[in-house]
Structure 1
């Protein structure tokens, strides 16, 4: 069985944002699709390793911003290369001009996106590594005419090309995802590690000594 067939499936890229009390957070997801039209339903799958998952599970509300081809790599780094458990993704490091607050009091991203949806969870399904949330869209708006960013477009046009690396004086061990370029620092990558950006497993990471 050639598991690389999975790479042939088409994906979009989105920022899923949530709010629980005073805490606001968000992460990159690659599955958000309309699954029914009457009633209108959108499904999103969120990795359980993401803090956004736990907040959404508790509150049942989120916004999904559709990333466009005008997005810059910094957007992916900000929402995908760090955890909301460790940082405030909506502090002063994220420009207030790049997002707005929707009617549900949750931010949605305006820079590098072309639409957003405010969603309310109607049911959820445990899928193991992810939870599938079946949601009702209660608000939606078009933000720009730019084309939606596919996973393939991100790979070819937004993600920085890998740079040659080797041993340096620091001697740090880094595991780099060969799919999206995400890097994790540590001696041993856990066997059950899932890339927070592209959701690929440990088998798709390469070990680098810096």
Structure 2
């Protein structure tokens, strides 16, 4: 179910995720509902995962397992590294569109201009293409991706704000990113890789 996740539970969930990133690779391109105790549901069909997770009656977050095995990320190219530290800068985010809300785990990426959500997540939040709406094409190091821009309500550590997202139009693009636009203007973000931790601190209005 979607609920306010306490900071303690959020940290426990992210710790579980970081400890199990390698094992989760067997679920590449699938959606995983999980919490600090482990996996609740997993499937390529997001609706089935949400239904099963909601039925469990426990808090959870959704993680889209990317189809790569490296641990250094340059969107959307992934490299293997000689380092044994496999932590990734994931963070818990809640997204709301009208009366639909979902708790997600997104990769914090300072190299992404906009936050990015997958095609299925956008559909679940109620997004649909307008008649004759122009589909945009973004050029990345890994090639071109098709997307449309939407605005959505974010909640990070209980702080709510509205920001744009790039809604991908390819079902096979398993990318979920928390990008710079609006987000990085509202928070000072500190990456502590040695501690496997990210700290979001709200900026005072200037």
Q: Please say whether Structure 1 and Structure 2 have the same fold, judged by a TM-score greater than 0.5.
A: no
What's the TM-score, normalizing by structure 2?
0.30
- TM-score scaled to structure 1, two decimals? 0.29
Larger radius of gyration: 1
